[in-house]
Chain A
Amino acid sequence: MIELAWLIPLFPALGVVINGFFGTRYTRDNAGHIASLMAGLSFLVVLGIASEMIFGSGGTHTIHLWDWISAGKFSVSIAFLIDPLSTIMLLVVSGVGFLVHVYSVGYLQGDPGYPRFFTYLNLFMLSMFLLVLGDNYLLMFVGWEGVGLCSYLLIGFWYEKKSASDAGKKAFIVNRIGDAGFLLGMFMIWILTDSLTYSEVFQAAPNMTAAGATAIGLLLFIGAAGKSAQIPLYVWLPDAMEGPTPVSALIHAATMVTAGVYMVARTSPIYAMGPGALEVIAIVGAVTAFFAASIGLVQNDIKRVLAYSTVSQLGFMFIALGVGAYATAIFHLMTHAFFKGLMFLGSGSVIHSLHHAPVEQQQDMRYMGGLKSKLPITYWTFVIGALAIAGIPPLAGFWSKDEILANAFFTGHYFIWGLGTAAAFMTAFYMFRLIFMTFHGEMRVDHHAREYIHESPYSMTVPLIILAVLSVVGGIIPGFPLEGGWIHSFLAPSLAKGGAGGHAASEAVQFVRVAVESGGGHEGPTAIILIILAIAIAVGGIALAWFMYMRNPAVPDDLASRFPGLHRLLLNKYYIDEIYEACIIKPIYRLMNSLWSFDANVVDGAVNGASLVTLVSSRFSGIFDLKTVDGAVNGIASMTKFFSQVFKFIQSGMVQNYLFVMLLGIFMMLSAYLFR
């Protein structure tokens, strides 16, 4: 089955071709079905391969298609790599992808750009598969940019809206900045290891210098930060909510943003050699988690809250990577994909049901409330998702997030652990704030839109239910005994052996292993305290949210009035966008215009100046010519006239005179000959 891996990208490619060329005319309304069919087929192939990988022999297989670029020593080929890490990613991508396809068939019913949307969606799946399947960095980069392009196209799907096309442009450019870092990292790799294929690079990794590895790590992390929206380059994700909700669900929750995490996990052998890079990643991850969670507290737009929660959950994943728990990071990635995808689709169905309300109110929680009775399935699936993300034990979130915090704690990163826990608390709080504001309390929806609110059709609710089941089950099965679950053993071969944080981390992990051997899972005394603490925080968060939004709704308002500054700061997202606007985009505009004016009048001016100089000199030389040269010529003319008067007498007409002059001539010649 594994040899058929090349089918996975082929199906979406087929979908793109069919919908792309024949979309507008022939497959007008069933473009959605074709796209979903293609996504489904590739999902089946993935299931086949996954079953072979999980239950069968496992190991790594590469399928070579053709040589792509070769220039001197540098040669790269199109080849796919199937190994545990890519299998897990394939499962997540194709699974969630297929569900989102089915969901969006219902969601985008009747939209004029219907076929175009599904062409882009299939194109996205194609690029994501390339990214995940590629057996070398360059092919991953192809998928990387392809995914960036699709996010640009999908965010700017409703291109009439200026904000949508701006958001798309912003997303692409910020991604491009990240890709620039990724490119430099790739060159560094090629310089140090003379190849870009994973197998060769990771063989050469051990003899890399620490400085080299760190440099590569940091450069690649810039790329990851760009793609997975970490601190400096996360600004595009909240704006990306302009796109249709299934897009946000698929791209900005489950798949694309996780590409950065996958890339860092994939290059774990190099990161193992460059501990400095891991430290940076951990810190950035923690700060992002805390920072984004804090912004999420006060947002009113339902999708923005989810966006910031994605950014903070990604922060968690990067904490896991930073502390060297690669498997845990991938595990959290998987669980996050499930419950975040669920919540985004849930919010989608909420917005879908409110599409009769005025546009700006459709996503604003202040104009929702009391939808529990109207949208039962959405409500219950949403609650499961919220519980999962908050980290309540039986559900998925608890296992993966707790493992991250445990790893952080045991590898000595207490500060990071602290930030992570605070972020977890805030996550729990704003998740349930969202639930209480949208589903509970009295109905604040616009009056005439109320009778239109009804449960979404089956094509939308079935994916919700599946995802809800996955959110529940997805945590326990793979990760039951903390730090020793099935997923760790499965992923171990394709990830570097722990080794994070250099010596400190490895002892800590050893310590945990010892703890695990001594009494199953994290039974070590400190581990148990940690687990209880995590659960307490989650429940505390929920209680606080319940208290503030259910018992007396006045509390949030007076809290806001008591700390107006803080409230406004958080509401306006720490003015990050404004800061970026001021200190990056504005100067670029100014520089651009000044350069253009510089080019227009200095360089061009120089050229025109040259022409001016020639003009002036030509005029001057004109005058000069007139006065002197011409004067000289006239002078000569008058002189000759004068002399001709003088010599006129020679032309006496007398032949003798002429002969006489001839005689003189002879005389001259002879004398010249004589006195030579």
Chain B
Amino acid sequence: MNPWATGIIHTLLLIVIMLLNGSMIIYMLRKVLGHLHLRLGPTELGPGGILQLVPDIVKLLVKEDRHPGTTDRWLYIIAPVIVFVPALMAYIAIPFSDKLIGFDVNLGVLMLFGFLTVIPLGIFAAGWGSHNKYALIGAMRAVGGAISYEIPLLLSALIPIMLAGSFSLKAITMAQTTSIWYWLPAFPAMVIFFICSIMETNQSPFDMSEAESELVSGFNTEYSAMRFGFMYLAEFSNNFIMAAIMVCLFFGGWSLPFIDPNSMGVFAPIVFIIKTYLVIFAFMFVRGTFSRYRVDQMLAFGWKKLMPIALVYSVVVAFFVKLISMKTGGGL
């Protein structure tokens, strides 16, 4: 087949998967938060209200694209794209199974984090370009949060990498099939990673840049119609990506215990998605329960608590990894 056609088809497939996934997570958020709050969530359209997303998307598409006159026009327009594209690109490095992976690079983890790091930039552009004080405060908070939480995030991600001896997500997953899943030896790292990914995806209790009760809607106050839709979708896509990374690093990817990873076949992506959605459920559960941090408390928590713990723990793990590898002459 023509490689161009294959490329285009794959790209479109990726976009469709991403959109479907984003919609599923939005539906799931509504249902989980609904039931958590003794409500029902959407019920009217389709079985269990699953088709509610269709009119929502149609509404976003046909809505007037309101554009405040005083914005920095270029930044205002490009910001949703900056937020949306990395969220889309990050899908290519996620190993849904040993074969279903877009682009298995050696440094897959780094590539994913690289994509995700661009998102706060987009949020900042949105906040700055909106010419709105609430949006600006939200943007500043997003940048501050991103700086202080990406360090412990990467430090805690280092631990499974050290344990597996590889940066490739596929290799890390495969390494977990031969030994135990890494959440057990790397439990503190998993907790830190979980907390930091909540921050990274701008969810309560770290939804600083959005902070509805303080900043109305934070960085996306001035956005409407499909531009807002992009931001909204990107948020859930990030959610999925962070959960997927977490599943790869700590919960054994597509593998299941006591089952030969090579005989999983078509079940592998299903197992992976179920695991990911369970992690997303944990995100949502936290989101619907807790109070928000204050911005200085959040920064203090990131710098003064999470980062030292992650640092010390990675040193400890490095030491033990070296010790074991000297004994056995190989990986863990």
* A-B interaction: no
Which B residues are within 8 Å of any A CB, using their own CB?
A: none
